[in-house]
Structure 1
């Protein structure tokens, strides 16, 4: 735990807060049977607003790094010390992600075997695990390459990933050869997950012919490109250009990135689970555009009051994510009659009053309110949980 820094950028904290708020909102409906379509991921190809949340967060990681790493270097910290700190942070994020993976017990099944289900067959990839790895890889690129080298790395990650997905040949257990597929359970990325992790340790263990994970190994590479796009945006934000010019250029680049991603989708589909190059360009473009909008409203027009709840969440995003993850699991582990506490609250109190879909949304909003009260208490005390 540490005190909240006084030189944080409000626009970045606000955007981070909006992003993490949206993440918790879509992850915690009262019932997964009743969720409005924009609050669900696309079934496969394509995108919804929900599919923007994770890449926005990764973009903001890069944005923050572009501002913090130069300060560390300016203080005289050697690359080795900064890299060591980054490795420690990466390890902590991975361990926190694995903690969430094992923090569950099925209280409704008398034959439930926690050791087998949560330890022996633990899901190894995850959201925090990917953030940690992407952070470390991006940090290496920042320390070892100049800006031109990072731009080349950005292109190489995108082109290398696309070329491998398009032309690499891989085989199933029966010896059938595949290449160039971007299907559910049938792509080079899915094949690699199945080879390294096996079916027991991924999010989609029953996918055929290859079990895979949406936060899998190979698709982490273009996620690094997303993080680098945040680094580039942060470098521009830290430049000597005027605020109006910074905002305008971020908006123009954002529009161009979005259009490029949509155009590229005719060649390679936009797909979050595969983190395709078109998805990187589309989501990074919209992230730049969103950052420009925050700068325009907050710093140019002075509209700040609306940011208050988002800044509370954004300043303590990892604590918020962990608190929400633990609370959500506790609510479904507490039995109330034949259902969980979450199910009881939704079915007995919210659904009768608000209906199916609005009741499910009301549960998510209530969940956010409880989380806000906890995060607000930390914020008022100037406490930020660093990893």
Structure 2
């Protein structure tokens, strides 16, 4: 039964399409939703949580994978659009609209919450006036537009040089740029939670009320402004991977081999660099860019080998469905997840009640929390499959 279902999905795709790219996009969005929706944040397996500060877990690779895919998509789409006769100005206008939509969708998610259990809750005071300004979609919008401009006006060598300059320049800023707190204390080179150049700048620009973490002496946000610079380098790594995949002069096996080698080289460089600049997702350190981009290239290369070279592909049909509507999936999961914690049930929320009454008694705390996330994914798949069959693809 699954074989027929998978074939119906895969056979509808263009024959010359690299299925691994669609599967990789689906994997990234599935992993993102899985780790964002446990049954209880008090009961989560450590690999499904972000590292507390320095270091990394598999969860820390998910968002940069998505950024990598954005660059990969740009490098494939832009040459086709230019060949179709679109001007640079038209692509820039469309890109600006798309980036603005992503930022506005991110703010919509930030504002979509009402605490019905608290009679003193004020949406204006507690949500609107203290809205988190940075965020995942906001960063994607900024990174996407910046990368689009670089692809339009810079050639391959220039993109490589700029990516390296972004990584080295960001490293130099973190280590050598001084900053001062309100008491007049001066700091240089600190990489502590709430006390680093990234947190200082976000604190000054946005104000502590509009950032994710109320740390001291500076509030901090993992999607802040300064740390978006190395995220552009992450996106450029996806651009370079996309250029490699489009090189028809090389066989697919050769392209796959080069991608795997590049991934291993990035990981090795990151493991060496971390002794001078720690791996840190919240700061999006330059070493972290090399690590996450390296693993992205490695996973994509393995997918190419397994799916497009070996032809073992039926298993990835659900990933294709999820990846085809990645932004719609992200928005649905964000809104549905908020609704579950907004609806009061007794002294808890609907989500708390479902976990405590249905999942925890049957599966236990950790497995019950994971089972809740998997059921959330399964329910989401029904909607994404229905949209896929209808041919409804939500593109921002």
Question: What TM-score does the superposition give when structure 2 sets the normalisation length?
Answer: 0.95
- Supply the distance in 1 between the matched residues of 2:22 and 2:126 (Cα, whole angstroms): 37
Deviation per residue, 1:114-143 (Å, 9 max, x gap):
111211110000000000000000011111
Point out where structure 2 has 5 or more consecutive residues left out of the alignment.
1-11
Residue in 1 that maps onto 2:369? 360
Residue in 2 that maps onto 1:148? 157
Deviation per residue, 1:95-124 (Å, 9 max, x gap):
000000000001111000111121111000
Q: 1:210 aligns with which of 212, 218, 228?
A: 218
Give the superposed CA RMSD.
Answer: 1.2
> Is the 8 Å Cα contact of residues 116 and 342 (structure 2) preserved in structure 1?
yes
Q: 1:266 aligns with which of 272, 275, 282?
A: 275
Q: CA deviation at 1:145?
A: 1.0
- Supply the distance in 2 between the matched residues of 1:249 and 1:158 (Cα, whole angstroms): 22
Q: 1:224 aligns with which of 232, 235, 246?
A: 232
Q: CA deviation at 1:78?
A: 1.1
- Supply the distance in 1 between the matched residues of 2:289 and 2:17 (Cα, whole angstroms): 27
Residue in 2 that maps onto 1:134? 143
Secondary structure at 1:105 match in 2: coil
Deviation per residue, 1:23-67 (Å, 9 max, x gap):
000000000110000000000000000000000000010001110
Residue in 1 that maps onto 2:9? none
- Supply the distance in 2 between the matched residues of 1:75 and 1:41 (Cα, whole angstroms): 42
- Supply the distance in 1 between the matched residues of 2:60 and 2:37 (Cα, whole angstroms): 15
Deviation per residue, 1:1-32 (Å, 9 max, x gap):
xx998875321110011111010000000001
Q: Matches of residues 1-387 of structure 1 in structure 2 within 5 Å?
A: 9-204=18-213, 206-240=214-248, 241-387=250-396
- Supply the distance in 2 between the matched residues of 1:246 and 1:155 (Cα, whole angstroms): 23
Q: 1:4 to 1:298 in 2, by over 3 A?
A: closer
Point out where structure 1 has 5 or more consecutive residues left out of the alignment.
none
Q: CA deviation at 1:75?
A: 1.1
> Is the 8 Å Cα contact of residues 4 and 383 (structure 1) preserved in structure 2?
no
- Supply the distance in 2 between the matched residues of 1:311 and 1:126 (Cα, whole angstroms): 26
Question: What TM-score does the superposition give when structure 1 sets the normalisation length?
Answer: 0.98
> Is the 8 Å Cα contact of residues 18 and 308 (structure 2) preserved in structure 1?
no
- Supply the distance in 2 between the matched residues of 1:323 and 1:134 (Cα, whole angstroms): 22
Q: CA deviation at 1:338?
A: 0.9
Deviation per residue, 1:274-333 (Å, 9 max, x gap):
000100000100000000011011101101110011111011100000000000000111
Residue in 1 that maps onto 2:4? none
Q: CA deviation at 1:268?
A: 0.1
- Supply the distance in 1 between the matched residues of 2:72 and 2:205 (Cα, whole angstroms): 31
> Is the 8 Å Cα contact of residues 22 and 323 (structure 2) preserved in structure 1?
yes
Secondary structure at 1:364 match in 2: helix
> Is the 8 Å Cα contact of residues 97 and 127 (structure 1) preserved in structure 2?
yes
Q: CA deviation at 1:380?
A: 1.0
Deviation per residue, 1:227-271 (Å, 9 max, x gap):
000000000000021011011110111011011111100010000
> Is the 8 Å Cα contact of residues 4 and 384 (structure 1) preserved in structure 2?
no
- Supply the distance in 1 between the matched residues of 2:114 and 2:350 (Cα, whole angstroms): 14
Q: CA deviation at 1:382?
A: 1.9
- Supply the distance in 2 between the matched residues of 1:235 and 1:164 (Cα, whole angstroms): 30
- Supply the distance in 1 between the matched residues of 2:231 and 2:337 (Cα, whole angstroms): 27
Q: CA deviation at 1:156?
A: 1.0
